[in-house]
Each structure stands twice: as C-alpha cells, then as structure tokens.
Chains A and B, each alone.
Chain A
Amino acid sequence: SQQGEEDPQALSIQEGENATMNCSYKTSINNLQWYRQNSGRGLVHLILIRSNEREKHSGRLRVTLDTSKKSSSLLITASRAADTASYFCATPMNNNAGNMLTFGGGTRLMVKP
C-alpha cells in the first residue's frame, strides 16, 4: 500500500476560490513533498516541508505538516484555471531512503473559469 493518501480524490471549484487537499501517511518521516502533474505528464515539485516545520509558504501555496497526526495539507489560494492538475504528496520510502519517494494516489483538481 502507498505511504501517502490524498483526500479528496477529486475536487472541483470555481476560479478565485481556495482549494485544500489533505495527505495522510503511515510512518515517521524526515520530510514531505508536494508535486503537481498536468495531463498525465511529468511531475513538477511544488514545495518540501521538513519534519521540524509546521507551515511553509510559496506564492499562493501554503503547506502545513502535523507529525502527531501524520498528516499534511496543501492550500492553493485564489485558484486559477491554470491550477487544474493532479496534486500528489510524497514521502521518503524509509528512514534511509533520502529522495526515493512513495507517492499517494493524488487529488485531481479542476478549476472552472
């Protein structure tokens, strides 16, 4: 089974609204990453949050990490049609895995103009 699981599996919102995606994982981690994928092509790294960080911002993105609950959330504010994509959380496969990652099943976001 996958280490990270995203929720919801699919999300449809209007342009300008905020989108929140959640990720749960099973074992202790060193860091958690979020990636974006357009139309089933290559993934693009969005943000990395380390286990000693609780919140991180990058432009319109806000990521939180709660290691006690083994969960993370990705918030996209003021969404745009161009944000339509699949979003994946990823964690190291094990304690010594470095950047060998386990990905969740993804959240498919659709932003309607």
Chain B
Amino acid sequence: DAGVTQSPTHLIKTRGQQVTLRCSPKSGHDTVSWYQQALGQGPQFIFQYYEEEERQRGNFPDRFSGHQFPNYSSELNVNALLLGDSALYLCASSSGTGYEKLFFGSGTQLSVL
C-alpha cells in the first residue's frame, strides 16, 4: 500500500519563474492538504482540497494555487517565485475532512536562487 508520494524531491528555480509540485495521496484518501515549511520552523497551512475544490486557504498570496484531480491527486503551483518561497513543501492526505490524523509525503525541497 503506497503512502503519500510527492514529486519532484528537489527543485531549483530562479526568481520570477513558476513551479508545479505534485502529490498522490495514500490509497483510499480523498483529501489533500499542502503545507510550507521554512528551515527550522513548523509547517504552515497553505490550502486543502476536497472533492476537487479548495476548501480553505491559509495566509498565502494568490501566487499560490492548486488543483485536485478526479483521482484525488493534487498539484501546487507557485507563480512569480520569490527568494522567500524557498522551503520544504509537504503534501498530506486524509480520508475526509474531519478530526483525523494526516499522512505526510516526504516533501519537495524548493530552492529559489
């Protein structure tokens, strides 16, 4: 049973570029959440997708957008990259949106130069 998979594992971009990160949830899960984790800090909630719709967004600008596909996989897009977008991006999946634990992928390490 595959867990949460994310791709790519590492990515290097330059300022102003655009990036797409991908996530496949754990088998049987229908909800995907994205988190940003800066070095030495805790993860910060970006947004959550359920039934192909963005359910709620954290305190992130519109440069951050996402999508969920009918097979429950998800993409995170970041436009007009800034140096401050350098971070570990984590995808988490769950079965439903209730008070349940999250299963995390290993993350995508994004470096913006």
Q: Which residues of A contact B (CB under 8 A)?
A: 2, 4, 30-31, 33, 35, 40-45, 48, 50, 88, 92-93, 97-106
Rounded to whole angstroms, the CA-CA distance of A33 and B94 in the bound complex is 14
Q: How large is the interface on B (under 10, 10 to 19, 20 to 34, 35 or more residues)?
A: 20 to 34
Is there an interface contact between A99 and B97, defined as CB atoms closer than 8 Å? yes
What is the 8 Å Cβ interface bit string for chain B, positions 73-113, against chain A (1 contact, 0 not)? 00000000000000010101010111111111111000000
CB-contact partner of A45 in B39, B55, B103, under 8 A: B103
B42 in the interface (beta carbon within 8 A): yes
**Most chain B Cβ neighbours within 10 Å, of A4, A98, A105:** A98
Counting residue pairs across A and B whose Cβ atoms lie within 8 Å, the total is: 71
Rounded to whole angstroms, the CA-CA distance of A41 and B88 in the bound complex is 8
Is there an interface contact between B100 and A93, defined as CB atoms closer than 8 Å? no
Rounded to whole angstroms, the CA-CA distance of A64 and B39 in the bound complex is 28
Since A99-B33, A99-B99, A100-B97 are in contact, a sample of 18 more A-B pairs with Cβ atoms closer than 8 Å, ordered by chain A residue number, is A40-B39, A40-B107, A43-B90, A43-B102, A45-B101, A48-B99, A48-B101, A93-B45, A97-B56, A99-B97, A99-B101, A100-B48, A100-B55, A103-B35, A104-B42, A105-B41, A105-B42, A106-B42
Is there an interface contact between A103 and B43, defined as CB atoms closer than 8 Å? yes
Is there an interface contact between A41 and B99, defined as CB atoms closer than 8 Å? no
Rounded to whole angstroms, the CA-CA distance of A81 and B28 in the bound complex is 34
CB-contact partner of A101 in B45, B96, B98, B103, under 8 A: B45
Tell me the nearest residue of chain B to A89, going by C-beta. B42
